[in-house]
Structure 1
Amino acid sequence: MTSTPEPDELRTDRLLLRRVGPGDVRAAIAVLSDPEANRFNPAGPPSAEQAAKMLAEWQLHWARDGIGYWAVELPETGEVIGFGGLRHHDLDGEPTFNLFYRFRPRHWGRGYAPEMARAAIDWARRVRPDRPVTISTDPDNAPSRRVAEKLGFAHVGESRTDVGPVLIWRPQEVTMVT
């Protein structure tokens, strides 16, 4: 069995996506605990302690699974503008990658979420084509639904989490017309 390369660092045209580490705790608290960034999070914003714990869990995912959420950084300034990426997920008994992102509100509307997401999806398709990428959104989160649609995903159903219902998105099947 061959191992799959860990995507510790990916670069896009404008972003550096890098494996999260202990040095990201301040940025994680700032991004994850921001009430505006959690507008569509049914659980609401986590406390600073909870955000730090989330970051530690993400580091464990990297250690255990070889994949996880990245710190999303602007290379020219080094500013961490958000977090996102892929994590192993079980969706109704099917192993998938869950695509997640959360950005500082001052960076919304600049196309960073789709840019980060495309890099993650491209990695998954290239290295782990056996594991589909899915997106779960709050039913009221129109901005995340728009990102899913920009990425070529379609709403395929609903599921429930411990905090409420979510919409499930999967890549649309492309059919060629000749």
Structure 2
Amino acid sequence: MTLEPDEMRTDRLVLRRVRADDQPAAVAILSDPETHRFNPSGPPSAADAGEMLAQWQADWRRDGIGYWAVVLPGAEQVIGFGGLRFHTVGEEPVLNLFYRFSPAHWGRGYASEMARAAVGWAERTQADRPVVIMTDPGNEPSQRVAEKLGFAVAGEVQRPGGPLLVWRR
């Protein structure tokens, strides 16, 4: 089943299905302590980051949807990861919007651009499943991305280490 395109393009980004050769970028970005500043568990180990990438690949095979590698056109350099994944909040099936970028590429609007493309795709093809964004209450940069996309806090869920805000449109 293919729900999501293997590749999408925005004005400045290529969003493509994650693949095995993305492992060095996944380890570098996902295990960077700065990218987990708001995660009480801290960053995953290099091995755990590799397992996350493998899980994202499995999501694509199983569900036809998953997180993309975010690439600057022409450079083939992975600057981040993001997209949509099937999830549940309570008992409700939703699409969880996730994004994590290399700190060297923060502040340029790439997260908003990738997220806007993902939400647009979801609204066209998965209208029966709402998109949610879950953020740490202190993660103001991610909250600004959610607000730019027209999301507002609709509740919270508990995780080890404290609550996560659940944002909806």
TM (norm. structure 2) is 0.97
Deviation at 1:7, TM superposition (A): 1.9
Q: 2:145 is matched with which residue?
A: 147
SS in 2 for 1:124: helix
Structure 1 unaligned segments of length 5 or more: list them.
172-178
Instruction: Provide Cα deviations, 1:76-119, integer angstroms capped at 9, x if missing partner.
Output: 21110000000000111111000000000010000000000000
Question: What does residue range 10-25 of structure 1 map to in structure 2 within 5 Å?
Answer: 10-25=8-23
Q: 1:100 is matched with which residue?
A: 98
SS in 1 for 2:113: helix
Identity of aligned residues (%): 66
TM (norm. structure 1) is 0.92
Q: 1:63 is matched with which residue?
A: 61
* Structure number having the greater helix percentage: 2
Deviation at 1:6, TM superposition (A): 2.6
Q: 2:114 is matched with which residue?
A: 116
- Look up the equivalent residue of 2:145 and give its one-letter code: V
CA distance in 2, matches of 1:167, 1:79: 31
Aligned: 1:130 with 2:124: no
Mapped contact 1:4–1:127 kept (Cα < 8 A): no
- Look up the equivalent residue of 1:9 and give its one-letter code: E
Structure 2 unaligned segments of length 5 or more: list them.
none
Deviation at 1:163, TM superposition (A): 4.2
Mapped contact 2:26–2:53 kept (Cα < 8 A): yes
SS in 1 for 2:69: strand
- Look up the equivalent residue of 1:136 and give its one-letter code: M
Of 84, 87, 108, which aligns to 2:85? Answer: 87
Mapped contact 2:2–2:63 kept (Cα < 8 A): no
CA distance in 2, matches of 1:101, 1:41: 14
- Look up the equivalent residue of 1:54 and give its one-letter code: M
Deviation at 1:162, TM superposition (A): 3.6
SS in 1 for 2:11: coil
Computed over aligned residues only, the root mean square deviation of the Cα atoms, in angstroms, reads: 1.1
The 10-residue stretch of structure 1 (25-34 or 38-47) with the greater mean CA deviation from structure 2:
38-47
Q: Report the count of equivalent residues.
A: 169
Of 23, 26, 48, which aligns to 2:24? Answer: 26
CA distance in 1, matches of 2:125, 2:131: 12
- Look up the equivalent residue of 1:7 and give its one-letter code: P
CA distance in 1, matches of 2:42, 2:3: 35
